[in-house]
Structure 1
Amino acid sequence: MHVTETPVVVRYAETDQMGVVHHSNYLVWFELGRTELVKELGFHYAEMEKEGILSPVTDIQVSYKNPTTYGDIVTVKTWVAGYDGLRVTYHYEVVNEAGMICVVGSSTHVCVKKDTFRPVSIRKHLPEWDEAYKRIVHV
């Protein structure tokens, strides 16, 4: 299984009045992990977007297990958990330095044409991405 590990140092601005990371920041960290995974596969979202294809989120799930706080160093673990040629589902774990799982989640994406927002087949329009996803998907 191909798992990308992206370190994140918790910044003060990411915390709430209780000193705990605000829940919305985990979605940003998921994006960091997903972008890094795509980069490790040899691709860039910016290149895909230049071709007129976007990859919006169609579903997102987050479960909070343990808090993270200012100054913590966490690792966002990201992998492809599902792929069917049209949809990609990424799974995430945010783990602290003690190895404790703080957050788990997933996001599902489809590719769409930028001008019409109509879905496009990754298999057909991005064959290199298709091959890479089929190679690393962990079901």
Structure 2
Amino acid sequence: MTLRSFPLKSARRAVVALSAICALTACAAETPAHEQRSTAVAPFKSVRVLDVERMPMERGNYGTTNWGTRTLWRGPNDNGTLRILYVPPGAQGAYIHYHTFHEWAYNIQGDFTNNESTTPHNVSGPVQRFREGNFLSRP
């Protein structure tokens, strides 16, 4: 086998080209299979389209409730999310808790009851039944 020497300039070009290919591959790998993005030219942003049915179900800190979520959007520095919450029929409700942030919810299907704490000191708040089509705004 013959070793061939390359001029330094050619070697630099090869490294730059390889780095660019690796960067493009890394960017492509970061886009999940359930997500599509349109092309856009600055200052405009691309459109993000999610196939929600193909998104993986996330299981959070819901204890034994068997609830799941799919996160559609996450704010900068994890400051807020837009999620689809899945509560299977007959699932145990959430534990008594109080949010320190504004919460909105829209019930797409089914119905359930929830203990609505109105202060962080509530041991038991009013029980509210959420029916299909109900919207919740909890400041």
Pairwise same-fold verdict (TM > 0.5): no
Greater percentage in helix: 1
| CA radius of gyration, larger in | 2
Greater percentage in strand: 1
TM-score by structure 1 length?
0.27
The one of the two structures with greater contact order (alpha-carbon pairs below 8 A, sep at least 6) is 1
